[in-house]
Structure 1
Amino acid sequence: MQQVLIHVIPIFFALYMYVSLFHKTRLHWVIRGVLLFLILISCQYPAFCRSFFVGYDDRVPHLGIVLYCWLFSTQLLLVLAAFAKDFVGLIYRLVRKTKLPHPTTTAVSLLSIAMLVAAFGSYSALSQPPIYRLDVPIKNLPDSLDGFTIAQLSDIHASPLLDRSRLVKVVERTNALKPDMVAVTGDIVDGKTEARLQDVLPLKELHAPYGVFAIEGNHEHYVDYDAWMATYPTLNMTVLHNSHQILDVNGAKLAIVGITDPMAARYHREYPDIKKAMSGIPEGTVSILLSHQVKYSRDYAKYPIALQLSGHTHGGQIFGMHWLAQIINKGFVKDKYQIGDMLLYVNRGTGLWYGFPIRLGIPSEITLVTLKKKN
């Protein structure tokens, strides 16, 4: 049933958009036919993602996948434009007692704008993430930890869209920051190990004196969970499952705590357990929590945690839509939030899920966190 819906629902929205914008225009019937064909093709992108991206995507050139993403993004914007046009048209008819003028001009204008904006949004989604620098003042921070740096990568979503070549550059730029530690906060890959292993291999080249730590995200649970959990350690990443590791930084102790993802409940795997993860950490130790999702951050703040690093939201990806993402994630969507004595930082995503391949006004990021003594 789910496979049927993923084909049918997009067709419904595509046809609505076509009828709303193009059906009554004076465009030549050939042009309208080509538009309808492209609209029907692009609306099947979600189904393409589910069925084609799990192992057979190598049959499609990367440029072809990028162009398909652009078509899909254009259609998404046109659907929104159709809703907006119909709403404005309804108000216009109520006030002026007549229909909106020039349907052909309206349709062509909206199509042109959508194509340009989608091209920019797709470029923003696929381009290299900017570096975001964050200073975190911590009370009673030992002198040895003053200036300790953590590079955070989150929501890499290695896929046929965000492939090996992009991740190679991400790793190079991360290493150039010379961080003391690297934190990878979930949603590293989309797809089966045999299909995507080559795309995540660049992570093995991440270098930091105190190691590379990783946690699972919700996307790890969807495909080949056990295989990926066995693969990540071979990429020189220490994976934390409701556990911690204490670093000795020139005599000062720093606890890196990692918890599982709430999606584990759906698959009968280990649910996030902050109490278990924090158990055994000596009192007074500075603790940093890695948690992919942010929904339970207020509960985590009840524990002696100085900093929580998270992702999952992608910052909302589109300005305006980020307010909806904020509501869904209990008030957290991007940047920093002070919750009692704990600072929460939500990374906007180093990559993004290929099923929604557009960013507008909310860029991706590589975060460089620097711990500072609080005056």
Structure 2
Amino acid sequence: MFVLLFAAVLGGVHYYLWRRLVRDTTRTRRARRVGTVVLVALYALMLAALSLTRVSFAAGSVVAWPGYLWLALAFYLALALAVLEVPRVLLQRRTAPEDPDRRRFIARSIAVAGGVAATGVVGYGMTEALGEPRLKRVPIVLPKLDPKLTGYRIAVVSDIHLGPLLGRAHTERIVRLINGVEADLVAIVGDLVDGTVEELGEAAAPLRDLVSTHGSFFVTGNHEYYSGAQPWLAELERLGVHPLRNERVAVERAGARFDLAGVNDVTGAGFADGPDFAKALDGRDASRPVVLLAHQPVQAHEAARHGVDLQLSGHTHGGQMFPFHLAVGLQQPVRSGLATVDGMPVYVSNGAGFWGPPVRVGAPPDVTVVELRHKLAAG
């Protein structure tokens, strides 16, 4: 259903591109036919990237790069041409109907300007998406935190999205970045993979090299359920990354403790493996703080009702490609960074990878070091 809906929307986008790039700019029928065939082929390639990557990893890998790149380019090309509609209309109004050559010249000029703008944006977005994730340091005050735990560092990474476009080298780079901060604990908050253990086990293998004082922990994201959650949970255990499946563990330093809890992603409900906040949080010592790992920020409402002190999430990609930032708010209470939901602090990572196009515009990838602080030491 997702692919069908996406195909319909993108079909409309491609029809608009055909009108502005082919119909308005060509003089002969032959040129129009060639342009039409090219656009139809690119549309089919894009649909193949969207669908085959979900059906066959090998086949999807062949079409993923060109298909997803065209998806990004088509989107920004349509956006640029839409912005240029105003000058196009004004210039066309000043042109006599009996002067088709000038009308084609205007259309071609608009098409070139839109193409240059779209190519520039996508090129920039590729350097962001494929470049090194930015390291963020975010201090967060927890009033119930024991002063002995002030300065406790949690390395938060989400949405790594190993798959047809991101492999072992991507994991190795993230592991190096995390190990360089000498964190007390590593939290991987979902959407690690877009493929099965058989397809991506080797790509995930460097996670065994993660180093921290109290270990590495993981909660499922929606994409784990599309990729075979149970085999991946077993594989992560083998690599020394501990899944928190609606459960919690006590973390201790210098005799002081806080609870680290994790709940399954909401998508798990469709796989008989949904989140269970009561199981993860009930019966704990309410005098000490609890930090919750939950893939989607929307889970914060339920977390706040259970007295969670801090939720760490991902899922949104920070919007990934402007202006999709605006759509995130329709589904999630927080798009990126630190915010408050129902009186509870929530930190949302942009993620270290990407889904679909290897493009990020206005939402660079990140790995975050969350530093817990006692209220008296916040300054």
Give the TM-score normalised by structure 1.
Answer: 0.88
* Unaligned ranges ≥5, structure 1: none
Q: Is 2:61–2:164's contact at 8 Å kept on the other side of the alignment?
A: no
SS of the aligned residue for 1:348 comes to: coil
Q: Is 2:145–2:288's contact at 8 Å kept on the other side of the alignment?
A: no
Match of 1:294 in 2: 297
Match of 2:181 in 1: 177
Q: Is 1:20–1:86's contact at 8 Å kept on the other side of the alignment?
A: no
Return the match for 1:238 from 238, 242, 247: 242
SS of the aligned residue for 2:305 comes to: coil
Instruction: Kindly provide the CA deviation profile for residues 34-75 of structure 1, in whole angstroms up to 9, marking residues without a partner as x.
Output: 654553343332432431464315974xxx854553333111
Call closer, same or farther: CA 1:46–1:199 in 2, change over 3 Å: farther
Give distance in 1, aligned partners of 2:2 and 2:144: 53
Within the alignment, does 1:280 sit opposite 2:283 as a pair?
yes
Give distance in 2, aligned partners of 1:35 and 1:352: 31
Call closer, same or farther: CA 1:181–1:4 in 2, change over 3 Å: closer
Call closer, same or farther: CA 1:46–1:192 in 2, change over 3 Å: farther
Call closer, same or farther: CA 1:230–1:357 in 2, change over 3 Å: same
Q: Is 2:142–2:373's contact at 8 Å kept on the other side of the alignment?
A: yes
Cα offset for 1:199?
1.4
Matches within 5 A, 1:177-326: 177-267=181-271, 269-326=272-329
Give distance in 1, aligned partners of 2:160 and 2:275: 21
Match of 2:14 in 1: 14
SS of the aligned residue for 1:284 comes to: coil
Call closer, same or farther: CA 1:224–1:164 in 2, change over 3 Å: same
Call closer, same or farther: CA 1:216–1:59 in 2, change over 3 Å: closer
Within the alignment, does 1:75 sit opposite 2:74 as a pair?
yes
What is the aligned residue count?
368
Match of 1:129 in 2: 133
Match of 1:361 in 2: 362
Q: Is 1:317–1:358's contact at 8 Å kept on the other side of the alignment?
A: yes
Give distance in 1, aligned partners of 2:347 and 2:228: 29
Q: Greater shift after overlay, 139-148 or 287-296? A: 139-148
Q: Is 2:81–2:111's contact at 8 Å kept on the other side of the alignment?
A: no
Q: Is 1:141–1:372's contact at 8 Å kept on the other side of the alignment?
A: yes
Match of 2:149 in 1: 145
Cα offset for 1:164?
1.1
Match of 1:334 in 2: 336
Match of 2:100 in 1: none
Give the TM-score normalised by structure 2.
Answer: 0.87
Identity %: 28
Give distance in 2, aligned partners of 1:205 and 1:223: 23
SS of the aligned residue for 1:328 comes to: coil
Give distance in 1, aligned partners of 2:367 and 2:53: 29
Give distance in 1, aligned partners of 2:191 and 2:109: 43
Give distance in 2, aligned partners of 1:275 and 1:340: 18
SS of the aligned residue for 2:14 comes to: helix
Give distance in 2, aligned partners of 1:230 and 1:50: 27
Q: Is 1:147–1:371's contact at 8 Å kept on the other side of the alignment?
A: yes
Partner amino acid for 2:360? Answer: R
